[in-house]
Amino acid sequence: MRVSVLGPLTLGLGARSGVPSAMKPRKVLSLLLLHADRMVPVRSLMAELWGDQPPRTGLTTLQTYILHLRKLLAEVLGVPSAAVTRDVLQTRPGGYAMVLGPGQLDVHEYRALVAEGESALEAVTSFRRALDLWQGPALVDVTPHGRPLQAEVARLEQSRLTVTERGIETRLRLGGHLEVLSDLASLVVEHRFHEGLHGQYMLALHRSGQRTRALTVYQRLRTAMTEELGLEPSSKLQRLQQAVLVSDPGWTTRRERRGAVRWWPDTRRGRRPRLTGRPDGACGRRLRTVSSDGACGRRLRTVSSDGAFGRWAQTSPSDGGLRRRRPPRRAGPARSPAAPPGPRSPGSGRRTSAAARRATRR
């Protein structure tokens, strides 16, 4: 028997299907499958069907749905209903449990592939195989979702998005920036405010020699965020925009964590960095960079998206570009030590007489 919830709900063996046509039994079956091999409380099943106000006959109606599901499973598997009750759809204290064998549920295979991708060298292949199991939104044909089913579907959808982002990041690290452009072009339209996907799209475009499109992606995201949410893009995304503006070919999303690209404010003599250009401070800061071949000491200037120029930044090859090289002080001519003051003559501090002052005026 093969069961799938990553997309439309399917359960069958060969040409026989065990998915009920009525919506409420489909909800019960979906919740049991998402918690396969675990007991689902009766309270959760009733909340999925009727919310916080179940009818008086809710428990009896739920038992009727369970009986209907057992009959369908018996027809699909070709076994008596008693065998299904004992081995497949079990009654447990406080609820029910759907017992499945290994490899029957696509969610189990999906999670196994994701775990394999986290530890294996062939992470790209494992992530791609995990995403290939999806045939659309989870349980797309089981609507509307109650709170218990909605929580499980949200968990699966978030896992799908996370695996998608991690798979693209892995392919970018391996140099597959041309391969991910088509996927990212669709993802940024679907997730308009996802900064991680927009940053990956900008990085892939930048590495593909399409700097203009990379800056357009940033500007479109910034406009949407400021107009609809009143927010500016994150500092990480702003640093990526600066790297595109200065055409840094070796910039990657990992280098920021290692300190290869970061803001460098002027803190000499306790000064605070004076920012020029945009009021949000995205321009005018000192920028420290290291090129892909390890060369340091390039003289760069930060530029904002509206064309405002900032300050120059200078890195030093001797110390790996980690500190600013200050110009050495020029040695001036040697000064002779000042002569000590001589002894004061007696009476030098006395006041002159009135007669002497009158003689001076004459």
85 & 224 share domain:
no
123 & 202 share domain:
no
Tokens in use for 102? Answer: 């290994």
Residue 114 lies in a domain: yes
Residue 211 lies in a domain: yes
Q: What is the pLDDT of residues 215-240, one digit of tens each?
A: 999 999 999 999 999 999 999 999 99
Residue 341 lies in a domain: no
CB atoms within 10 A of CB 171: 21
Residue with tokens 């460098």: 264
Average pLDDT, the chain: 76
Residue 169 lies in a domain: no
| Predicted confidence (pLDDT) at residue 71 exceeds the cutoff of 80 | yes
Residue 255 lies in a domain: yes
| Predicted confidence (pLDDT) at residue 290 exceeds the cutoff of 50 | no
Confidence of residue 23 (pLDDT cuts 50, 70, 90): very high
140 & 10 share domain:
yes
**Which of 168-177, 210-219, 234-243, 277-286 is least confident?**
277-286
| Predicted confidence (pLDDT) at residue 57 exceeds the cutoff of 70 | yes
Residue 186: closest CA among 176, 171, 200, 175: 200
**Which of 41-45, 53-57, 246-250, 319-323 is least confident?**
319-323
Residue 202: closest CA among 172, 162, 163: 172
The rounded distance, in Å, linking the Cα atoms of 276 and 311 is 8
Domain span at residue 57?
2-151
Q: What mean pLDDT is predicted for residues 263-285?
A: 40
Looking at residue 32, which CATH number applies to its domain? 1.10.10.10
Quote the pLDDT of residue 103: 85
Buried/exposed code over 239-270 (b: 16+ C-beta within 10 A; e: otherwise): bbbbbbbbebeebbeebbeeebbebbeeeeee
Higher-pLDDT residue of 45 and 121 is 45
59 & 192 share domain:
no
Strand partners, 300: 313
| Predicted confidence (pLDDT) at residue 306 exceeds the cutoff of 60 | no
- What percent of the chain lies above the pLDDT cut of 90? 45
Crossing angle of the two packed helices 181-190 and 147-173, in degrees rounded to 10? 150
Q: Could you tell me where the beta strands, DSSP code E, fall in 223-285?
A: 262-264
**Domain count of the chain?**
2
Looking at residue 221, which CATH number applies to its domain? 1.25.40.10
83 & 181 share domain:
no
Higher-pLDDT residue of 306 and 94 is 94
Quote the pLDDT of residue 314: 39
Q: What is the pLDDT of residues 197-215, one digit of tens each?
A: 999 999 999 988 899 999 9
Residue 272 lies in a domain: no
Quote the pLDDT of residue 305: 40
